[in-house]
């Protein structure tokens, strides 16, 4: 049992984390940290533009504009400025809207689920604009927040979906640097963030949009938590994470124990900075990657044989999985809309089979419902199990001429980092789907992200993200 009489017992561990958040500098980061972040930055900016294409979300910005308020922070992919807490909500919602952002940590060799970048990067861009921050401070704040709270996430014995309970904390860690909070104030802010959490796990099963509202609400909570700490009148907790009923300790039974990995979480603190490191190849949950890749490869095969992929020539599509655990991805396609499409193996496979790759334009509700043959093929597709020594997805396409074609992809394809060229293709697909800015603006965005550490004022970049 890991007990409270260790080298870094509570609250000392959390105090170390708070000093780490407040005290880290750009010079502490590695070249690898910087280069990976540059890729993630233009990738996430592309997701913001792609998210602006989702019709179901437009009422959200309209509502905020109607409410009005102090025009202090920019709305990306729109005109106008709003109060900071509303602007960060909208900007984070856009980034997550198509579930297309980067995710996953690799911490001390462990693969750890997360969806933090879709909150952190748009939140950081918004704060950097308001606080007139340099590129170096923008980069540092994002990476430090990821590392600090990622280490806390690492301690959990069951990380998914509990990782979602740390979303407001990681946003607060980021915002605390813009507010220039001391380590003591940072712990006060984290006290209010850790105890006001949003968990969208059930939303995936029900195809509810709460999964992206989560990113928005985490950002709003961060602003409020930092304002509370800055106000200086309210107290914080001794340890909001590892206290007797803290956010993490409360996940461990019996109460009073600490996670087995508690001490290791502080190893290399200040020397090694862990961040998200995986990129999505298509919109939707990352486990759909293998199903989509099977569809893409069969699209190429059928095009070689028949000259094109004709949906009327397809009799049936079969999706087979060797993955023993059951997910919401296995379910049928009852809603036939955008959010349903994001979390469906069958849709991912059929959409890529017909369109070669899933693009943002292909997964919007209107596009789906205007394509009855796609809907029919998804509805009639079967979800089956098969034996394979590794976790894999197999796609079998049966043709009306009696022929059959199949493709198999390892499930862990989702861990492989796509090339920069593929990420650029992804950026331009979303930028062009948005379609309200000239290509020259997109080129300037990419130039700014490539030299982000040299910008003296982040508004050189954020001014390009608005209409």
Q: What is the pLDDT of residues 192-243, one digit of tens each?
A: 999 888 777 789 899 999 999 999 999 999 999 999 999 999 999 999 999 9
List, in order, residues 6 or more apart from 313 with CB less than 8 Å away: 306, 399, 400, 401
The whole-number pLDDT of residue 160 equals 82
- Asked if residue 254 has pLDDT above 70, the reply is no
Q: Report the candidate in 418, 299, 392 with the shortest Cα–Cα distance to residue 353.
A: 299
Give mean pLDDT, residues 264-290: 94
- Asked if residue 3 has pLDDT above 70, the reply is no
The whole-number pLDDT of residue 411 equals 86
Q: What are phi and psi of 399, to 5 degrees?
A: -95, 155
Q: Which residue has the tokens 């807490």?
A: 85
Same domain? 264 vs 134: yes
Tell me the average pLDDT of the chain.
Answer: 94
Residue 351 lies in a domain: yes
Task: For residue 24, give the CATH number of its domain.
Answer: 1.10.4100.10
Rounded Cα distance between 436 and 273, Å, is: 37
| Joined tokens for residue 304 | 């070689």
Same domain? 170 vs 240: yes
Residue range(s) defining the domain that contains residue 393: 286-414
| Joined tokens for residue 361 | 């334009």
The whole-number pLDDT of residue 6 equals 62
- Asked if residue 375 has pLDDT above 90, the reply is yes
CB neighbours of residue 456 within 10 Å: 11
Q: What is the pLDDT of residues 283-298, one digit of tens each?
A: 999 899 999 999 999 9
User: Residues of the chain with pLDDT > 70: what percent?
Assistant: 98
Q: What total number of domains does the chain contain? A: 2
The whole-number pLDDT of residue 4 equals 56
Same domain? 38 vs 139: yes
The whole-number pLDDT of residue 255 equals 64
The whole-number pLDDT of residue 412 equals 84
Residue 205 lies in a domain: yes
What band does 159 get if pLDDT is binned at 50, 70 and 90? Answer: confident
Same domain? 246 vs 329: no
The whole-number pLDDT of residue 156 equals 87
Task: Specify the DSSP element, H or E, that contains 315.
Answer: strand 314-321
Residue 384 lies in a domain: yes
User: In 331-432, where do the E strands start and end?
Assistant: 382-385, 392-399, 404-410
Q: Helix or strand or coil: residue 60?
A: helix
Distance of CA 426 to the CA centre of its chain: 15
- Choice between 27 and 324, residue whose per-residue pLDDT is larger: 27
92, 216 contact by CB (below 8 A): yes
- Asked if residue 131 has pLDDT above 60, the reply is yes
Same domain? 300 vs 272: no
Rounded Cα distance between 397 and 400, Å, is: 10
- Asked if residue 12 has pLDDT above 90, the reply is yes
Give mean pLDDT, residues 13-37: 97
List, in order, residues 6 or more apart from 304 with CB less than 8 Å away: none
- Asked if residue 333 has pLDDT above 50, the reply is yes
Same domain? 303 vs 336: yes
- Asked if residue 253 has pLDDT above 90, the reply is no
Task: Specify the DSSP element, H or E, that contains 360.
Answer: none
Give mean pLDDT, residues 324-335: 90
Taking each helix axis from N to C terminus, what angle separates 183-194 and 210-231, rounded to the nearest 10 degrees? 140
Same domain? 123 vs 189: yes
Q: Helix or strand or coil: residue 211?
A: helix
H helix and E strand count, the chain: 18, 9
Same domain? 351 vs 404: yes
268, 175 contact by CB (below 8 A): no
Same domain? 259 vs 385: no
Give mean pLDDT, residues 67-91: 97
229, 181 contact by CB (below 8 A): yes
The whole-number pLDDT of residue 1 equals 43
The whole-number pLDDT of residue 202 equals 85
Q: Helix or strand or coil: residue 404?
A: strand
CB neighbours of residue 326 within 10 Å: 11
Q: What is the pLDDT of residues 163-201, one digit of tens each?
A: 899 999 999 999 999 999 999 999 999 999 998 887 777
3-state secondary structure 122-162: HHHHHHHHHCCCCHHHHHHHHHHHHHHHHHHHHCCCCCCCH
Residue 1 lies in a domain: no
Q: Which residue has the tokens 């992206």?
A: 212
- Choice between 417 and 363, residue whose per-residue pLDDT is larger: 363
Taking the CA of residue 276 as centre, how many other CA atoms within 13 Å lie in the half-sphere pointing to its CB?
28
What band does 439 get if pLDDT is binned at 50, 70 and 90? Answer: very high
Residue 197: DSSP 8-state: -
Provide Rg for the chain, Cα atoms: 23
Residue 419 lies in a domain: no
Task: For residue 337, give the CATH number of its domain.
Answer: 3.30.1330.120
The alpha helices in 232-321, defined as continuous H runs, are 289-306
Residue 112 lies in a domain: yes
| Joined tokens for residue 460 | 């050189």
Instruction: Find the angle CA(147)-CA(96)-CA(146) to the nearest 5 degrees.
Output: 5
* Strand pairing category for 103-107 and 276-278: antiparallel
Give mean pLDDT, residues 263-272: 94
- Asked if residue 314 has pLDDT above 60, the reply is yes
Same domain? 241 vs 301: no
Residue 125 lies in a domain: yes
- Asked if residue 335 has pLDDT above 90, the reply is yes
Same domain? 69 vs 183: yes
Rounded Cα distance between 282 and 294, Å, is: 13
The whole-number pLDDT of residue 252 equals 76
Same domain? 117 vs 205: yes
Instruction: Find the angle CA(456)-CA(150)-CA(188) to the nearest 5 degrees.
Output: 75
């Amino acid at each position: 049992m890991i007990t409270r009489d260790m080298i870094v017992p509570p609250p000392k561990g959390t105090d170390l984390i708070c000093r780490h958040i407040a005290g880290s500098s750009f010079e502490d980061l590695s070249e690898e940290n910087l280069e990976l972040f540059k890729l993630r930055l233009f990738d996430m900016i592309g997701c913001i533009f792609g998210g602006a294409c989702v019709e179901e979300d437009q009422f959200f910005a309209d509502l905020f504009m109607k409410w009005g308020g102090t025009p202090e922070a920019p709305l990306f992919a729109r005109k106008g400025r709003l109060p900071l807490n509303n602007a960060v909500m909208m900007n984070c919602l856009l980034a997550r809207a198509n579930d297309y952002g980067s995710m996953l940590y690799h911490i001390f060799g462990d693969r750890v689920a997360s969806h933090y970048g879709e909150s952190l990067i748009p939140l950081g861009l918004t704060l950097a604009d308001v606080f007139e921050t340099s590129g170096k401070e923008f980069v540092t704040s994002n990476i430090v927040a990821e590392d600090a709270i990622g280490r806390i996430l690492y301690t959990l014995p069951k990380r998914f979906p509990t990782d979602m309970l740390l979303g407001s904390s990681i946003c607060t860690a980021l915002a605390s640097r813009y507010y220039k909070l001391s380590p003591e104030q940072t712990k006060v802010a984290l006290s209010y963030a850790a105890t006001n959490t949003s968990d969208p796990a059930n939303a995936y099963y029900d195809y509810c949009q709460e999964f992206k509202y989560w990113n928005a609400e985490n950002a709003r909570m961060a602003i409020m938590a930092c304002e509370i700490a800055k106000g200086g009148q309210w107290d914080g907790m001794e340890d909001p994470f590892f206290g007797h009923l803290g956010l993490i300790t409360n996940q461990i039974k019996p109460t009073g124990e600490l996670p087995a990995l508690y001490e290791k979480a502080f190893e290399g603190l200040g020397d090694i900075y862990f961040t998200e490191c995986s990129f999505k190849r298509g919109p939707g949950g990352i486990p759909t990657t293998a199903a989509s890749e099977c569809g893409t490869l069969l699209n190429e095969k059928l095009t070689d044989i028949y000259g094109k992929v004709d949906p009327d020539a397809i009799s049936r599509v079969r999706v087979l999985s060797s993955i023993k655990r059951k997910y919401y991805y296995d379910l049928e396609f009852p809603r036939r809309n955008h959010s349903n499409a994001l979390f469906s193996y069958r849709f991912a496979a059929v959409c890529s089979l017909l369109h070669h790759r899933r693009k943002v334009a292909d997964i919007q509700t209107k596009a789906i419902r205007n394509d009855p043959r796609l809907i029919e093929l998804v509805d009639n597709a079967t979800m089956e199990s098969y034996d394979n020594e590794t976790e894999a997805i197999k796609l079998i396409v049966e043709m009306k001429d009696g022929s059959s074609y199949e493709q198999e992809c390892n499930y862990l394809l989702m861990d492989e980092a796509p090339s920069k060229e593929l990420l650029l293709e992804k950026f331009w697909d979303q930028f062009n789907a948005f379609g309200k800015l000239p290509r020259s603006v997109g080129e300037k965005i990419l130039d700014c992200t490539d030299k982000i550490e040299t910008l003296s004022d982040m508004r050189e970049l954020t001014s390009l993200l608005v209409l």
